[in-house]
Amino acid sequence: MKKQNYELTVGWLYPELMSTYGDRGNIIVLQKRIEWRGMGVKIKRINHDSKADELISCDILFMGGAQDIQQEIVQKDLNGTKGKIISKLIESNTPGLFICGAYQFLGNYYIDSYGIKIPGLGIFDMYTHSDQAGKRLIGNAVIKPHQLPTNNLKLSNYIVGFENHGGRTILANKDLAFAEIIKGYGNNGEDTTEGIHYKSTIGTYLHGPILPSNPELADYLIENALVKKYGKEIALSKLDDTYANKAKTNILMRLKTSY
């Protein structure tokens, strides 16, 4: 692949704490799909002991999920300068992908199993509460994404993944949802919504990890990052996604969802 004079920095937020469900796979996909197109890429690991201003140079943000103890550590760190910078980046259309616990952090607040209200970053207009019965929403999921504002890319009809969460997320408005749930539970198991889409950032409960099974979603983030950084549309060269598409088709067939 001919080398191009473009470079993106992917900010991997709290990789030591927020990567319980194989979410490192999402970082690998972003890195390789940028490299395979002849562009430079840097993976910047942002931990709780990193300086907040290291976030400023990030072109794509990513954070995965974790258990309660790890989330408590991250929550405290996000209440400082890092959270304010993340908010500014998202508001200025820096693309991001936030999964499960990370998705919940960006809401208005979270009510834990003891009824304690924990403030979030307030970027997403939503809140999350713990299920009082302790029931988790677990299993393979199929979602149908709503139309996303993108220049050259079209998301496929369905996105597949795996969800495992005890939280119930309620959006202020169902129109904010990233997708409609076709199989599985989604945000709360009741209102057919899954995730949220705000500006160029996506929050979702889908692990899997999500990007290897749905590479078009990775390209959505890459394309929007290029537009934000360079101020112009940069067409992404087509990659061979034969195996990823076959894997997705197999999952859809097993879940009896037409493709």
Q: Which residue in the list 58, 100, 165, 197 is annotated as catalytic?
A: 100
100 counts as catalytic:
yes
Q: What is the pLDDT of residues 113-125, one digit of tens each?
A: 888 898 999 999 9
Q: Which residue in the list 129, 165, 197, 207 is annotated as catalytic?
A: 207
Classify strands 126-130 and 109-111 as parallel, antiparallel or unpaired. Answer: parallel
Question: How high is the pLDDT of residue 259?
Answer: 47
At residue 108, does pLDDT exceed 90? yes
Question: What domains are defined for the chain?
Answer: 7-254 (3.40.50.880)
Radius of gyration from C-alpha coordinates of the chain: 17
Q: What is the pLDDT of residues 123-174, one digit of tens each?
A: 999 999 998 777 999 999 999 998 765 555 566 789 999 999 999 999 999 9
- Angle CA(229)–CA(232)–CA(233) in degrees, nearest 5? 110
Rounded Cα gap, residues 251 and 43, in angstroms? 30
Question: How high is the pLDDT of residue 185?
Answer: 97
129 counts as catalytic:
no
Q: What is the pLDDT of residues 36-57, one digit of tens each?
A: 999 999 999 999 889 999 999 9
pTM (whole model) above 0.85 = yes
Residue 258 burial (CB < 10 Å; 0-12/13-18/19+)?
exposed
Above pLDDT 90, what percent of the chain?
A: 68
At residue 187, does pLDDT exceed 80? yes
